[in-house]
Structure 1
């Protein structure tokens, strides 16, 4: 590969300016031969010179990198993804070609972890339930002490030592929380490791950070949700498929549990879903990941990778075929 490889943007054009603001575009242009005004939203665009492309800089909305694309781009050697998961992007043909694949998932993990930490602290303080009560009753008693509220020593269970799960643990370190972790493959130094069942039965707040795989589908089913103590809060910023929605709705309708859900199954929810109306549910529309000015963090990660690639150095955030089974 030349020191200034021929590169092409492949994503939804609407995201380009947020991913690569002007300073990043200038840096990228110094590293690669790229037309910064050309963005491929589909690969049959007649403006594209795919036969010359060595590096694809991809993002949300990029078409799958299938055999037809690879045949049209014989010089393609690397895919630098300015987003998180590459599961739906990279086809088996890409691995057979031996393409280098990199993801900005680490950069995207930062806002998800920040959202999660905020949700944990607010849930522990009773913000969601007490705020809803105040909204409903339009009054409160001054100096009333809520005995079940507070974050001093509160038990928080982290399900999955993924990059986001580990970041959440790091960000929670300054707080006086009692953290525990359940992950069948990975441990975190200094954090008590436990089974999923023990974590669920002993935690005041449970935060999900496992990948979506056949093994994790509905990992929180009716039986496991029943293990959570009365008044516990479930936070899901991972994937909706980790939770049996019907079983969760039943628990929430009983008033026994509360939930903070940035992801659901299905997604978006149907308009008639009871989750919209339950007072003990706080819903957000899949916004924990990078939004607005946070996208430029992912763009910067891609430019860093391109710099390593142009210098012939190993990529910092390479994704391999074996990684796909254990990442989101």
Structure 2
């Protein structure tokens, strides 16, 4: 009889699989990663040494691992949000929305009002309260039920409520509720589409909506490279080389400008020194001429205009001046 154990080798490794399972997705805990250009900025800050390519690869895997969590939370700033998840605060004593119009409750005792208050509301009713609160902050009028602003507010409340629900489920079990996260993805894409349409139609309403709902909207841009580690690393390396080239050219330009200014200053100082030396030589030559009798040294300050004026006055007085007669003259 043939021994089957010799033909087929079984082990615990085959039972568990050929390789251990590795979950590429990571949980993001740094709110700074909500910036869509966070990893590109980090890539530009990496030191250019022999480990640059390895550091780029590590950063790429971190980027890929963070995409899912950021896609679910970044637009609503839900990273490290463990309490409210961007949902409005509602007073517990407030009457629920579907019972607000009942006149009977206005004069009802407090015990009855408490039964119909938000404090005693179910999860579904609390979700409705959040939706109503967000819709009121952006709707066009009290009867608005079909505008893009109202739709965006409704979807935002749904996303944040479901994110809170995912967090609550995660505290009870380690397994993520994929049936719920998949729905969150669908709603996020639907809201992104509505935001794009609203932005194209009415820029002012778009700005008011994202400000009121506290949505971080970024215009999606097409990637300039194939979504692979090698292509991303090459693209970042190319950008880094261009940035380094521009940086060094700017440094060289600044150094050149500084050298030009220093050269101008030194040249001006040398010119002044030569002019002073030339003036000194001219003064020495004049003194030599005075000693040899070829020139005369002027004492005082010569005032040609004053001398001319005095000369003219003296000449006129000699020609035309007559002294007044005296009593002795006859």
Global fold match (TM > 0.5) = no
The alignment's TM-score, normalised by the length of structure 1, stands at: 0.23
Structure with bigger helix share is 2
Structure with bigger strand share is 1
Q: Which has the higher contact order (CA 8 A, sep 6+)?
A: 1
